Amino acid sequence: MKAVIWSLPRLILISINLFSFYPVIRSQSSGLFPSYDSLHIGMCNSSLPELEDKMNQNQPVLYIVTPTFARREQFPELTRLSQTLFHVPHMIWLLIEDTSECSPILSSLLERCQIPYVHMVAPMPAQFLVTAKKPRGVSQRNAALQWILTHPELPEGVLYFADDDNTFDLRLFKDIRKTQKVSMFPIGLMGETGINSPVVRNGQVVGFISDWFGKRKFPVDMGEFAVNIRYLTYNPAKVAMPFMVGYEEDGFLRGIVKKWSDIEPLAEGCTKVWVWHTTAEESLLPVINSRGGDSNLRDLLSELESTGVVGTTVTGPGIPVCPMDSDCI
């Protein structure tokens, strides 16, 4: 499936000043940021027109942004996330792929999930494909931000970055709908300590706990905060995420958060964990003999291949099979 490609306008990019409390605008010539002329966004499909009448305009809409890239675990993880989001009312799922062409299997998944969605592609700029540490998800999140900022007719709502490999308690989505500016909350399974969280005193965020601070002003994970989309429009020129591994969240938040009192602690005063950083470890793609004879194996392997879980071949050994009433080891 081909994507309809349109160029993302040039934005003012926010960089990280590691030695100052306030962010600075860093020149494009520093090499830390790409030229936005080379970043392209493709629109695949959207279910919004036919589902618009199902949206409740009396409460904030959740704009759930999920960047994704092709790998063996992609389809199972997106299946899990889609079935979580099925139970979240009044939301729009922005699923953006790190590729230049829309994936038919993901389009099929979105059509089945029966929730409002926008499906786009936004490939990583070519200069980052050869780097050891790749800033995954940045192009896709910037595409979502640009989509929101260029649709002023969107209903009031809250933006949340939900990675496809994380795990979510439904209470989180109910809670973040209350976000007026920027809300923050704990996230579990982070680093050796197992937790990232704001520190809250008297209802105010006064610091953070994290395994790694890295001189960041906001040492938080992508799944640890939500933003009211109207808050983004106060200074849209600064609404961008830097292509700087480890500093994506910090760069984004530095561009929009004006003062500490703008941060709203959620999850019962940051005492509950309703999101977990359950990152799956990528594994090599097994290649399996697709000859299934008169059994179900041929069709089963074809299904697994279509979702990227296995590869198939007509040569080499097949899957070991143990017949009934046999002592197989």
- Catalytic annotation, pick one of 249, 281, 303, 305: 249
How far is residue 120's CA from residue 43's CA, in Å, rounded to a whole number? 5
How far is residue 181's CA from residue 260's CA, in Å, rounded to a whole number? 11
Reduced 3-state DSSP string for the chain: CCCEEEECCCCCCEECCCCCCCCEECCHHHCCCCCHHHCEEEEEEECHHHHHHHCCCCCCEEEEEEEECCCCCHHHHHHHHHHHHCCCCCEEEEEEECCCCCCHHHHHHHHHHCCCEEEEECCCCHHHCCCCCCCCCHHHHHHHHHHHHCCCCCCCEEEEECCCCCEECHHHHHHHCCCCCEEECCEECCCCCCEEEEEEECCEEEEEECCCCCCCCCCCCHHHEEEEHHHHCCCHHHCCCCCCCCCHHHHHHHHHCCCHHHEEECHHHHCCCCEECCCCCCCCCCEEECCCCCCCHHHHHHHHHHCCCCEEECCCCCCCCCCCCCCCC
List CB contacts of 19: < 8 A, sequence separation 6 or more.
Answer: 215
165 is in an annotated binding site: yes
224 noted as active-site residue? no
User: Annotated binding site for Mn(2+): which residue ranges?
Assistant: 165
Active site residues: 249
